[in-house]
Amino acid sequence: MQILKKSTRTILVICAIALLIVLILPIWRIELNAPQYPEGLVMLIFANKLGGSVDIINGLNHYIGMKTLHEKDFLEFKVIPGIIIFFSVFFMLAAFVGKRKLMNVLLGCFLFFGITAMIDFWRWEYQYGHDLNPDAAIRIPGMAYQPPLIGFKQLLNFGAYSVPDIGGWIFILVGLALLGVVVFEQKRVNHYLKIRNTHLVLFFLSLGLFSCKIQPDPIKLGRDNCHFCKMTISDIKFGSEIVTKKGKVYKFDDTQCMISFLQTNFLEKKEIGQLYLVDFSGSHVLLKVSDAYVLKSDLFATPMKGYYAAFSNSKAMQQIQMQYKAKKVSWNELIQ
């Protein structure tokens, strides 16, 4: 039972070849979008170099005091190609030897490298985003420019989106394939471990799903700005949000601002993940529009004269409805 099946060995060989391909493909990408760059700027991170719009990004970073990005300053570009080749050889060796214990060691080493690489990437982003030149042309006290580790983050008027590129996705798939064959081989050893290993797989899958889960971001009074009218959000009771399927968040100080933004068709319907309205009463949590009760009244002192307020239940709505002489409306009526 210690000898790997032929199908498992074949998968390990395929993974070894796939890792060699990663050497010539971009592993990660950071996209920057702003009104002055409608086509966007992209920085590509390879195993041994940087690519994309690096010169333009360096020019922009100069104004805010960030260090210039030079490949020679990164020890990682000298080390990572060797590590990738090492793992490719390790996969080949595990396939040739065919021992389950050696494959398990390979999985442990591969996971350790993945976690260490992400920690190092975060450290690099933190250093470049916080270690700023005090003599820079643009200085905002307390402002840092650390890009997101993964996902979206607003940096001044730039939207920064950080995701794996082709090489990174290959790396992730290789890791998942390795995890899959380890679990498969383990099930052959002991039927009792079948349930335990299934839970392990579900755990890792749930972590992946959680990282891509569409969820709202709490509105920060006095810090967040309305994406449509650009006003600082100072009254949370009438706030709203759009969360795209990629996890990008658009915040608004008034339901009318969100409706007006939707009518611009800046976002296609297929891009929208969920719409939220702030509960007027209680703790002012964000409610899905499908779960919210909405009232309209000229007596609501909304920031941009939208006159809409949302409620989590009909009892709370009815109490306010009489007080403000409000009319109940549906979401479909609002967006028509």
pLDDT tens per residue, range 67-76: 777 778 788 8
pLDDT of residue 72: 80
Residue 215 has pLDDT above 90, yes or no: no
Q: Where are the alpha helices (DSSP H) in 243-326?
A: 255-263, 314-324
The answer to whether 254 and 302 are in contact (CB under 8 A) is: yes
Residue 287 has pLDDT above 80, yes or no: yes
Instruction: Identify which has the larger pLDDT, 156 or 307.
Output: 307
**pLDDT tier at 331 (50, 70, 90 boundaries)?**
confident
User: Using one digit for the tens of pLDDT, what is the confidence trace for 162-189?
Assistant: 889 999 999 999 999 999 988 888 777 6
What is the spatial distance between Cα 120 and Cα 127, in angstroms, rounded to a whole number? 10
The answer to whether 53 and 41 are in contact (CB under 8 A) is: yes
Instruction: Please compute the mean of the pLDDT values over residues 52-64 and round it to a whole number.
Output: 74
Amino acid at the residue 209: L
Q: What are phi and psi of 191, to 5 degrees?
A: -65, -30
pLDDT of residue 154: 78
**pLDDT tier at 197 (50, 70, 90 boundaries)?**
low
Residue by residue, DSSP assigns 260-277 as HHHHTTSS-GGGEEEEEE
The answer to whether 320 and 280 are in contact (CB under 8 A) is: yes
What is the chain's Cα-based Rg?
25
**pLDDT tier at 64 (50, 70, 90 boundaries)?**
low
**pLDDT tier at 296 (50, 70, 90 boundaries)?**
very high
Share of the chain above pLDDT 90, in %: 43
Angle at 75 between CA 72 and CA 77, to 5 degrees: 75
Q: Is the dihedral of CA 298, 304, 306, 310 positive or negative?
A: negative
97-130 b/e with 16+ CB inside 10 Å = b? ebebebbeebbeebeebeeebeeebeebbeebbe
Q: 255, 314, 152, 168: which is closest to 263 by C-alpha?
A: 255
Q: Which two tokens stand for residue 105?
A: 């060691």
User: Using one digit for the tens of pLDDT, what is the confidence trace for 1-42?
Assistant: 567 888 999 999 999 999 999 999 999 888 888 777 777 788
Q: Is the dihedral of CA 260, 285, 250, 172 positive or negative?
A: negative
pLDDT of residue 254: 95
User: Using one digit for the tens of pLDDT, what is the confidence trace for 309-328?
Assistant: 999 988 889 889 988 999 99
pLDDT of residue 316: 87
Which range among 75-79, 132-136, 291-295 shows the weakest confidence by mean pLDDT?
Answer: 132-136
Residue 152 has pLDDT above 90, yes or no: no
pLDDT of residue 189: 64
pLDDT of residue 192: 45
Q: What is the dihedral of CA 216, 217, 218, 224, to 10 degrees?
A: -130
Q: 114, 119, 294, 278: which is closest to 204 by C-alpha?
A: 114
Instruction: Please compute the mean of the pLDDT values over residues 219-237 and round it to a whole number.
Output: 92
Q: How far is CA 100 from CA 27, 107, 146, in A?
A: 29, 11, 42
Average pLDDT, the chain: 84
- DSSP H or E stretch at residue 296: strand 293-296
